[in-house]
Copies of this chain bind each other. A is one copy, B any other.
Amino acid sequence: MAGNPLLSDRDVDFVLHDLLDVGSLCRLPHFRDHSRETFELYLRSARRLAREVLYPSYRAVDEAPARLQGGAVTVHPALREIYPQLVALGTIAAPRPAEVGGQQLPHVVAAAADLYLMAGNLSATSFLGLTAGAGHLLESFGTEELRRTYMARMYSGEWSGTMALTEPQAGSSLGDVRTRARPTPAGHHLLDGAKIFISGGDQDLTGNIVHLVLARIEGAPPGVKGISLFCVPKLRPEAGRLVPNDVKVSGLIHKIGWRGFPSVVLSLGEEGDCRGWLVGQAHQGLAHMFQMMNEARIMVGCHGVATAAVAYQESLEYARTRPQGRPLASRDATRPQVPIVAHADVRRMLLRQKAIVEGGVALVLTVAHQADLAGHAEAPEARARAQRLLDLLTPVAKSFPAEWGFESNALAVQIHGGYGYSSEYLPEAWLRDQKLNSIHEGTTGIQGLDLLGRRAVADQGAGLRTLLEEIGSAAAQARQAGVDPAWPAAVERAGAALAETTMALAKKGLSGDAEGMLLHSTDYLRAACILVVSWLWLKQAAVAQAGLARDAASRPFHEGKLCAAQYFICTELPDLERLLRLCRDGEDSYGRMREEWF
């Protein structure tokens, strides 16, 4: 167990350097104080912390979840030892500018480090991930005073942050948020309402917790256009000290995974004295919050990849060491058994996991890299181009790891056989952890609506056209490197098919049939996930094929990359055809199904 490497360093380095050439970011003014060496230093510290401190505590934290007693949540004691070490690493503000206390690291490097930390102990890292997003909201939209009072202490890890959106009647439908905010002459608002599923909503790790809360100012218009964003601390500074701000923990959710990371029900303003400070513009709260939601969706993608990765490593090690059965070709029972990796069907499961995990690593790091370019590339066109890709790929980066990752985690259990079905082994815990990722930060269904209904058709499909250009370059690169020409051909064909389907669906939407356009949005999202990850496997295949000729010592690594690329492109990609046909034909079984027919 202590030997689980969490992720393959070789693979992460391959994606960072061979695929994305992140060193070249240092030529941009924003990153000029960095170098490949500072990236390595940060990554190396994260790897060590993840392997030596976070992972060894994972099982204990899973076994003894956070508790609620006397209105306060107590986290697992191991987390109290881990938290300051994560803070010391600087993960919270790693990509933030130096002027606000950050390390000004590229997102892509920070995300690579996060993958290790998350794979080591998802719960431990999550307190900091949310704090980063909440702090960034204040950085972007908060007043100078809010930034000074809260943001700085959040970026330093002294206080933590949360996002408080969901209410019992308002989960996927945020327009139905009911928490009320009444203005006061003093400038703050008084809040009154209930929030549910608030991750990190209470804990005993930090001196204070700063909730970024969606609420409705009295008299605001109904729906999403009447929602405002507030900064609502658990304790508010008053006359030089911190006093309770009438934020009560009224319940603890018994989650089936992420068990070290408490999710609570919060009651705001039970005593009429819960003060909140407006962040940004009144009634623009949801628009502001989308900054954090987009970041959180990519973070969820990282969670999904990390959770699939650690389980893949575990099942790989198991398959290499567990003897069972004999080759089909020579079943002589007097010969010793072979390790199960020798069986084709076990290699199928492992290669599928590898294709999902490493495809996922390439996906989330590519998206993070685009975020860096969108923010800091020199040419405005380059920034705009990166932003288009980032916008388009966000639902994919959120959903592919959640959905395929769950399948990958189930395979890790399957490879462990009967042992995998017991809590003496860890794969079942990661399977539980993974399931949340298709639910929180917008369910897979919501991601599908967001992708097809908004992002794919925004600006006349500009994001999709950019993706097709990327696919075209990858295909050219693959052909030049000598990759099996069937692969680039298949990926290009798939890209064209997705574009064509998108146009047909957009036309349906423009003709007023939004229901028809979006009927198969989840199938569309699945198709987009398959296409995007196929593109990234094609890119990896091109680099690996070129590497084969050049670098004899890396042959096993590059051969493995080519097998995984082949697996994904030859066995997963063909399903895109079926999915797009459903979208195009508008197969209407559940469209016409009525409630009373079930």
Among A172, A254, A325, A418, find the residue whose CB has the most chain B CB atoms closer than 10 A: A418
Could you mark each residue 576-598 of chain A with 1 if its beta carbon is under 8 Å from any beta carbon of chain B, else 0?
A: 01100110000101111111111
| A444 to chain B: closest residue by CB | B414
Q: Copy number in this complex?
A: 2
Q: Which residues of B contact A350 (CB under 8 A)?
A: 590, 593, 598
Do B172 and A255 have beta carbons less than 8 Å apart? Answer: no
Distance to closest chain B CB from A176 (angstroms): 6
Residues of B within 8 A of A592 (CB): 563
CB neighbours (8 Å) of A331 from chain B are 175, 223
How far is it, in angstroms, between the C-alpha of A345 and the C-alpha of B155 when the chains are bound? 39
Write out, one digit per residue, whether chain A residues 518-537 have a CB within 8 A of any chain B CB (1) or not (0): 11011000000000000000
Q: When the two chains form their complex, are residues B325 and A560 in contact, meaning their CB atoms are under 8 A apart?
A: no
Find A224's partner among B173, B333, B438 (CB 8 Å cutoff): B333
Interface residue ranges of A545-566 to B (CB < 8 Å): 556-557, 559-560, 563-564, 566
Report Cα–Cα, A522/B571, bound state, in Å. Answer: 13
Complex interface: chain B residues within 8 A of A347 (CB): 590-591, 593
Asked if A440 is an interface residue, CB under 8 A from chain B, the answer is: yes
**Measured CA separation A445–B350 after assembly (Å):** 13
Query: Which of A67-75, A202-210, A421-429 forms contacts with chain B?
Result: A421-429
The distance from the CB of A63 to the nearest CB of chain B, in whole angstroms, is 11
For A435, A515, A589, A591, the residue with the greatest tally of chain B CB atoms inside 10 Å of its CB is A589
Interface residues of A, count at CB 8 A:
99
Asked if A461 CB lies within 8 Å of chain B CBs, one says no
Closest to A582 in B: B571
B421 touches A518 (CB 8 A): no
B598 engages A316 (CB within 8 Å): yes
Q: Which residues of the other chain, B, contact A253 by a CB distance below 8 angstroms? A: 418, 421-422, 424
Contact partners of A175 in chain B: CB under 8 A: 331, 333
Q: Contacts A418-B440, A439-B421, A518-B344: A325 and B172 contacting too (C-beta < 8 A)?
A: yes
Nearest first, the 8 closest Cβ-Cβ pairs linking A and B are: A223-B333, A560-B597, A567-B589, A345-B445, A173-B325, A222-B333, A566-B589, A347-B590
- Which residues of chain A have a CB within 8 Å of any CB of chain B? 166, 169, 171-173, 175-176, 196-197, 222-224, 253-257, 316, 320, 323-329, 331-334, 337, 339, 341-348, 350-351, 354, 406, 410, 413-414, 417-418, 420-424, 428, 431, 435-436, 438-440, 443-445, 448-449, 514-515, 518-519, 521-522, 556-557, 559-560, 563-564, 566-567, 570-571, 574-575, 577-578, 581-582, 587, 589-598
Instruction: Offer 28 A-B interface pairs, CB within 8 angstroms, sorted by A.
Output: A173-B337, A176-B324, A176-B337, A196-B418, A222-B334, A223-B331, A255-B423, A256-B428, A320-B595, A329-B515, A344-B519, A344-B591, A348-B590, A350-B593, A351-B589, A354-B598, A410-B435, A417-B443, A418-B439, A420-B439, A559-B594, A559-B597, A560-B597, A563-B589, A564-B589, A567-B589, A570-B589, A575-B578
